[in-house]
């Protein structure tokens, strides 16, 4: 999806400030150049935040994780211009979620971890979000259960993907799904990514203002704007 006016795109490219490189292009470039260097490191207290053991991922391992999540999203019918709300803390899986979504042209709508039903319901409804990626818990709050319980009130919300040691009924266990990805599913997702023909002018995210005086307002940003 491209929402930036064509004259603005021409102007920025004429000045050399924007180009044709996507965030996925940059990611793949670094994977090829530095496969064995560390790319993503969890905070030392990740176990307190979401459970599990903190991870240190090389570029190559990060690429494998992105490939697997891309395959899961594609297998569940998600693709270009769908919106996925991502509510995760600053852990390695946050970057993996972004990179998998943008590869398929999925628009990411990040939600602060403090948001609860009121704010999340507004964001899901405003964007017609098709899915959510969250953790079973963030701190002491059970985000997985909360978002699964919201599904009946959110008509567009088809899937709630949940990271964590457990998964609530009605959610999709993301760790189990990514572990079970087959070579055929990876190949199908890669073909879908190529067919999506994502450009540097396509929207990557819809971020949200604080809404101190009214409801939060969605702000779309393209690859070029992020770069």
Q: How many CA atoms lie within 13 A of 170 on its CB side?
A: 13
Mean pLDDT, residues 215-221: 89
pLDDT digits (tens, 9 = 90+) for 106-121: 999 999 999 999 999 9
pLDDT cut 70: percent of the chain above it? 99
Residue 212: pLDDT band (50, 70, 90) is low
For residue 211, the model assigns a pLDDT of 63
pLDDT digits (tens, 9 = 90+) for 72-107: 999 999 999 999 999 999 999 999 999 999 999 999
d(CA 97, CA 99): 6
Those residues whose C-beta lies under 8 Å from the C-beta of residue 203, and which sit 6 or more positions away, are 1, 2, 3, 107, 220, 221, 222
- Single pTM value for the model: 0.93
pLDDT digits (tens, 9 = 90+) for 134-164: 999 999 999 999 999 999 999 999 999 999 9
d(CA 212, CA 227): 28
d(CA 151, CA 172): 13
Three-state SS string over the chain comes to CCCCCHHHHHHHHHCCCCCCCCHHHHHHHHHHHCCCCEEEECCCCHHHHCCCCCCEEEHHHHHHHHHHHHHHHHHCCCCCCCEEEEECCCCHHHHHHHHHHHHHCCEEEECCCCCCHHHHHHHHHHHCCCEEEEECCECCECHHHHHHHHHHHCCCCCEEEEECCCCCCCCEEHHHHHHCCCHHHHHHHHHHHHHHCCCCCCEEEEEECCCCCCCCCEEEEEHHHHC
């Amino acid at each position: 999806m491209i929402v930036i006016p064509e004259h603005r795109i021409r102007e920025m490219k004429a000045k050399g400030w924007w180009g044709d490189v996507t965030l996925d292009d940059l990611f793949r470039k670094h994977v090829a150049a530095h496969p064995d260097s560390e790319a993503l490191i969890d905070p030392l207290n990740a176990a307190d935040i979401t459970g599990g053991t903190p991870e240190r991922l090389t570029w190559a391992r990060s690429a494998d994780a992105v490939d697997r999540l891309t395959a899961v999203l594609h297998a569940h019918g998600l693709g270009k211009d769908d919106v996925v709300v991502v509510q995760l803390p600053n852990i390695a899986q946050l970057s993996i979620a972004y990179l998998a979504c943008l590869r398929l042209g999925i628009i990411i709508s990040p939600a602060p971890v403090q948001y609860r039903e009121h704010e999340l319901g507004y964001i899901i409804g405003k964007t017609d979000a098709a899915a959510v990626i969250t953790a079973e818990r963030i701190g002491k709050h059970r985000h997985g259960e909360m978002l699964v319980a919201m599904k009946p009130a959110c008509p567009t919300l088809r899937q709630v993907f949940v990271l964590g040691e457990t998964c609530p009924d009605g959610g999709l266990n993301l760790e189990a799904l990514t572990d079970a990805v087959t070579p055929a599913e990876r190949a199908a997702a890669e073909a879908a990514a190529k067919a999506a023909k994502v450009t540097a002018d396509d929207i990557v995210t819809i971020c949200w203002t604080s809404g101190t005086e009214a409801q939060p307002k969605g702000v779309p940003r393209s690859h070029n704007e992020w770069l």
